[in-house]
Structure 1
Amino acid sequence: MVVISTETYEQICEFCTKFRGLTIHCEQELRKFFSHIDPQVLSAILSKEWQKHIKQWHHRIARSGADLLREYKQQSGARGDPFILLQIATRENFSPVSLCRILLSMGFEGKPKSVTNEMMKHPYLIPDPLLALNVLNCLHNDKSDGPLTDLKRQTIGEDYEVRLKKMASDAGLEFHDEVHLRRYGYDKTPDLKLAVPCMYKGKIINWIESKASFGDMTSHRQYVNDQLSSYGNRFGNGIIIYWLGYLDQVAKCPENKDFIIVTDDFPKKEDLI
């Protein structure tokens, strides 16, 4: 069971906050200092902490955008280095991809946002070959932001949803998935709605939700407010699975009330009645 204590979680978050540099290097150091914790769990926690960092510092970097763009142009004119933007992002302790977005929007001012978004997805669309190469290197060296990271998250999420359905079928459960429920007019739907409820840990279970992420208190409370509470009101008790572990306080979160059970894996077949 991947349940992280509050003390350990705070140590990991503090390590991420104090580290200066790229997330790929931070993740490597995290694995050394917290070798007893699953690398996937560390990566999930780092990703969330880095997203917080980007939001906190985005305005400051955006305000300095004109100076940073000027610095890039000066350096690119003096040397044809494809890692200039990556070096600036490292120095500023900021996301390379987010830095590219800011500088592209300034460098191509007047262009619709959709155009610069396409440039981020497909750097070959950028007219300047050196700038395109700089952006490409930023994309490949940012593990917490950008289209490649988004695709990875989406793929992992879909993989766990497939795994969830297989495990539920193997356990003999009858269920409807999101596609089926939406076809019948439901707007907010769990990953699985049990056609025949089952008993787990003394509670009748009606639905199962899958999250391919680490469950910290902030995100869990957000899930409860945005999704899980409506499932509970509409369908009754259910289970949320954090495949990459969760903070120990999450299972005791007052917002869970009596209708949410938190786990980090699919229940054992023998525990389902």
Structure 2
Amino acid sequence: MRKNTFYKIYRRLGGVRDIPRISHHFKVQEDVLYSILSQKIVRQTKKDFHVIARQSERMAREWESGKTLLKIADEREFPPVLTASFILKQLGVSKKQYKAYLHDPGLIKNTRMRKEFEEVIDNDFIYSPQGISAQKERGNFCEEQIQSWLDDVCISYMTEDDCRMAGKEKTPDFLFDCPQVIGGITVNWCESKGSFGSPYQMGYDFNNQLKHYVELFGPGMVSYWVGYVDEVSLGDEIAIVDRSFFIDTY
């Protein structure tokens, strides 16, 4: 994806409801847009977290006055599950109790609160248990697809678990037994990312993971399964691919 297209999409994505329209307009698959929207929400959430947290008492009063949990969250453009956590904490619910409610809203005795809490969970595709589980499943799926491809093309490797058992720390998902030429460079490892490679995400991944892999194991590759911004570079020692590479190669 070109950088200018990414920023146009990023600005226009305000919520899940925008995805079908933007997908049609830009001819971009919906799973790509879900990933971009997720990153946008997470970035904004980190920025606004303490601002919203300081409104806990006011939000609790709004709820007691009849406003729904979801309405309070929507007015602040903040994830419903996190908004509800501030309100319930203000109302005396412990962190342990709140986690239990997330997995079983039926534990909530207050009928109104229980109904609204179920609505909150259904409308949060990132921080709800279902959202977290779906994210984990996507990550596992992408990793399994790459592992299957490596097996098909007879590239031998150590998995992250294999590396840990061998006493290696800070290891990529796949550490090749022998260097491989991929994307025009010789690589020694592959890291799988189920997310879209936005400029923000790629910068974060490079600083927190990828550059350390280069220092430890030499050049490597990273797969942003649903795509990435073409103009962003991670340097000469990291090849960037997406799912099309594993479909079209060999």
Match of 2:198 in 1: 216
AA aligned opposite 1:97: V
Equivalent residue, structure 1, for 2:81: 97
Is residue 117 of structure 2 the alignment partner of residue 120 of structure 1? no
* 2:71 matches 1:87: yes
Residues 55-80 of structure 1 deviation map (CA, whole Å, 9 limit, x = unaligned): 2223332222222212212217xxxx
Per-residue CA deviations over 1:166-219 (Å, capped at 9, x if unaligned) read 011011111111111100111211111111222224422211111000111222
Q: Which amino acid aligns with 2:236?
A: D
* In structure 2, distance between residues paired with 1:159 and 1:131: 36
Matched residue SS, 1:69 = helix
* Residues in 2 aligned to 1:92 and 1:33: alpha-carbon distance in whole angstroms: 28
d(CA) in 2 for partners of 1:248 and 1:202?
16
Per-residue deviation, 1:32: 4.3
When the two chains are superposed, the root-mean-square deviation of aligned CA atoms in Å is 1.9
Distance 2:51 2:2 in 1: 33
Unmatched tracts of structure 1, length 5 or more: 77-83
Q: 1:70 aligns with which of 46, 53, 61?
A: 61
Q: Would you say 1:260 and 2:238 are equivalent positions?
A: yes
Could you say which residue in structure 2 is the equivalent of 1:27?
19
Kindly tell me the number of residue pairs found equivalent between the two proteins. 248
Structure 2: segments with no counterpart, 5+ residues: none
Which structure is higher in RCO with an 8 Å CA cutoff and minimum separation 6? 1
1:31 maps to amino acid: S
Q: Distance in 1 between matches of 2:22 and 2:44?
A: 17
Question: How much does 1:232 deviate?
Answer: 1.2
Compare 165-174 and 199-208 and name the one that shifted more: 199-208
Q: 1:59 — aligned with what? A: 50
User: 1:249 is paired with a residue of what secondary structure?
Assistant: coil
| Contact 1:243/1:264 (8 A) holds in 2 | yes
Q: Alpha-carbon deviation of 1:145?
A: 2.4
Whether the 8 Å contact between 1:101 and 1:116 is mirrored in structure 2 is yes
Q: Which residue does 1:81 correspond to in 2?
A: none
Q: TM-score, normalised by structure 2?
A: 0.91
Matched, 1:7 2:7: no
Distance in 2 of aligned mates of 1:167 and 1:114: 42
The partner residue of 1:230 within 209, 212, 226 is 212
Q: 2-side partners of 1:68 and 1:201: how far apart?
A: 52
Shift in Å, 1:44? 0.6
Query: Do the aligned residues in 2 keep the contact of 1:178 with 1:192 (CA within 8 Å)?
Result: yes
SS at match of 1:204: strand
Offset at residue 269 of structure 1 (A): 4.4
Structure 1 residue identity aligned to 2:34:
S
CA contact (8 A) 2:139 2:194 kept: yes
Aligned equivalent of 2:143, options 158, 161, 178: 161
1:94-146, Cα deviation, whole Å (9 max, x unpaired) = 2111111111111125x3x2332222232222232321221111111112322
| Separation of aligned partners in 2, 1:32 and 1:107 | 44
